[in-house]
Amino acid sequence: MAKQRPSKKSTRTPPRQRTSRSSPKSGRTVAKPQSAAERTPNARVLGNQSLATIPTTGPMIGRDKPAQVGTAILGAGIAGMSAALHLKKDYAIFEQAERIGGLCCTENFGGFLFDRSIHILYTRQPYAKKFITGLLGSNFSLRPKYSYIYSHGVYTAYPYQSNTFGLPHDVVVRNLMGLIEATYTKPQREPRNFKEWAYATFGAGITEEFFLPFNYKVWAIDQEEMSYDWIADRVLTPPIKTAIEGAIAPSKGEYGPNAKFWYPKKGGMESLPRAMGAHLSDGSVHTFARVKTIHVAKHMLEFEDGSTCRYDSLISTAPISRLAHLADAVPAEVQAAVGRLKWNTVYTVNIGLEIADLTPMHWAYYPDPKLIFHRLSWPKNFAPSMAPPNCSSVAAEISVSQWKDVGPTDAKTLLRETIDGLIRIGLITRKQASRIRPAHCGVVRLEPAYVIYTWDHRSATKTIHDWLESCDIYACGRFGDFEYLNMDHSILSGKRAAEKLMKRELNAFPLKGVDEAALERWIAADFEVGVAHTDAAIESKLKAQGA
């Protein structure tokens, strides 16, 4: 086959201090446990444990795969499918799992739905807005974000550095004095790492109360080992006036690019990759396709079942740390660059609860080192369809790595320690914990999970990507780019990979059945069309529950 080449051419009251509480109940609905066959299939489900990065069990399909294709795409996550939708033709997607979705799959544990770690949709990119909402159609809603930080027994609004009202008096004073000193003191030298950047930016109070303990829990590595050049657009540095206002009075509302976010009404976040899959060419996706070797010089994929596929170009969403090992001939400098990459593993402990209206929060952060989790989220607050009627659910995220050991990580131990933490912070009572059903719980393991930024990161990824592209291999997605990408960034990363290959700008539209004129009207209205907010009711619950 000839190689493809283009021709050139709201007001919010922060939570008050509280002790443990029992959530109100309005009746109990017991979710009927599902058999393994009834559950939505996942990357690998062993009982109620899903190991998202281990190849699935099941038949290895060889005959259905093409022997030759213009563009081979590794991975049927949102980046890989985005690349395919922009290429439009002469591609084949090879996915090692049994279904599309990748990190955006949604688990089903006994009728309770959980995304693989927390996912929300928001973007500043007009094209990404059009692409995402065009695919979801009416299956999304716009929601105001309710996120908090739990420390010293109280919840304060996010971000911490500009919302310290409600914390102990001495903590507030120390935080403000440190921020003032950092703001008006010229540093003697440039920060050498994330830790020094935090002290220079926020002062000792905020850094030691929140940034260091929380970020160690998230990244699972000492902050002296991390760079900070990647974080400028992700962390708000408040003016002194804003910080003082946030210390003496309740928060006046959420800020930042995700102050409002979109979420599918039904089906969890897997609705997005499923919608993308509906627009792919017929027969272009091949599941259970596990690559054994990439024969770089031959432009050929060899699969574990012994079948092969020759390609003109390859787009890969696989982690570049793994991709370089799959290739049959990797230069020494590329191998060295791979060795400089760092990442962590995240376990998400998902728990279904026969409790109505557990909390109105979407998610909250927990810097306390005595708690095993660093973040909790409540899926039913993203969409009511995520849990059965009169029930709630909670997902707890736990980061581990070779630099941070949290002890045994078997599903039973993680579930027990998470439940102990929920009781300790007063989210549930021991009596409520005793009624948790194993069929309603599951543990998901993601590895890699977070890309860890060191000062070697940029040079290492450039070395790897330069070599890959010299071999007609274009990496994309969170772990192909090896960057901390949000969902919109991953979609655009797939688009860019297709554009590099084709050497021209590409557009996925027109998409069958998508009314582009209506999309433009929605974008102009900032997607307020058809969105009903219940802010007053939510604010009332937050105030009553102290969260």
Rg (CA), the chain: 24
Chain centroid offset of residue 476 CA? 16
Residue 515: how many other CB atoms lie within 10 Å: 12
Q: State residue 4 phi and psi, 5-degree precision.
A: -70, 125
| Predicted local distance difference test score (pLDDT) of residue 180 | 95
Q: Name the residue among 144, 148, 145, 204 with its Cα closest to residue 177.
A: 204
Rounded to whole angstroms, how far apart are CA atoms 14 and 167? 10
pLDDT (tens, 9 = 90+) of the chain, 547 residues, equals: 434 434 333 333 333 333 333 333 333 333 333 333 333 333 333 334 443 333 334 343 344 788 999 999 999 999 999 999 999 999 999 999 989 999 999 999 999 999 999 999 988 888 999 999 899 988 988 888 999 999 999 999 999 999 999 999 999 999 999 999 999 988 889 999 999 999 999 999 999 999 999 999 999 999 999 999 888 666 777 889 989 999 998 876 555 556 889 999 999 999 999 999 999 999 999 999 999 999 999 999 999 999 999 999 999 999 998 887 899 999 999 999 999 999 999 999 999 999 998 999 999 999 999 999 999 999 999 999 999 999 999 999 999 999 999 999 999 999 999 999 999 999 999 999 999 999 999 999 999 999 999 999 999 999 999 999 999 999 999 999 999 999 999 999 999 999 999 999 999 999 988 888 877 776 665 544 333 333 444 445 445 444 4
Angle (nearest 5°) at CA 316 between 484 and 100: 85
First to last CA, the chain: 61
Number of H helices, E strands in the chain: 16, 22
| Predicted local distance difference test score (pLDDT) of residue 48 | 41
Is residue 445 helix, strand or coil? strand
| Predicted local distance difference test score (pLDDT) of residue 256 | 56
Rounded to whole angstroms, how far apart are CA atoms 42 and 511? 28
Rounded to whole angstroms, how far apart are CA atoms 207 and 3? 54
- Are 62 and 303 contacting, i.e. CB atoms less than 8 angstroms apart? yes
| Predicted local distance difference test score (pLDDT) of residue 149 | 96
Rounded to whole angstroms, how far apart are CA atoms 119 and 238? 26
Place of tokens 């960057």: 483
DSSP secondary structure string, 113-167? EEESS---B--S-HHHHHHHHHHHTTS-EEEE--EEEEETTEEEESSGGG--TTS
Q: Name the residue among 157, 202, 158, 211 with its Cα closest to residue 177.
A: 202
Q: What is the dihedral of CA 186, 187, 188, 191, to 10 degrees?
A: -160
Task: Looking at 471-515, list the stretches that DSSP marks H as alpha helix, in order from N- to C-terminal side.
Answer: 478-481, 487-502
Copy the structure tokens of residue 66: 């093409």
Residue 16: how many other CB atoms lie within 10 Å: 13
Rounded to whole angstroms, how far apart are CA atoms 214 and 399? 11
- Are 223 and 212 contacting, i.e. CB atoms less than 8 angstroms apart? yes
CA distances from 71 to 1, 85, 484, 511 (A): 11, 12, 26, 20
DSSP state of 294: E
Domains and their CATH numbers in the chain: 1-149+254-525 (3.50.50.60), 159-241 (no CATH)
Is residue 258 helix, strand or coil? coil
Residue 339: how many other CB atoms lie within 10 Å: 12
| Predicted local distance difference test score (pLDDT) of residue 253 | 59
Copy the structure tokens of residue 515: 């009314």
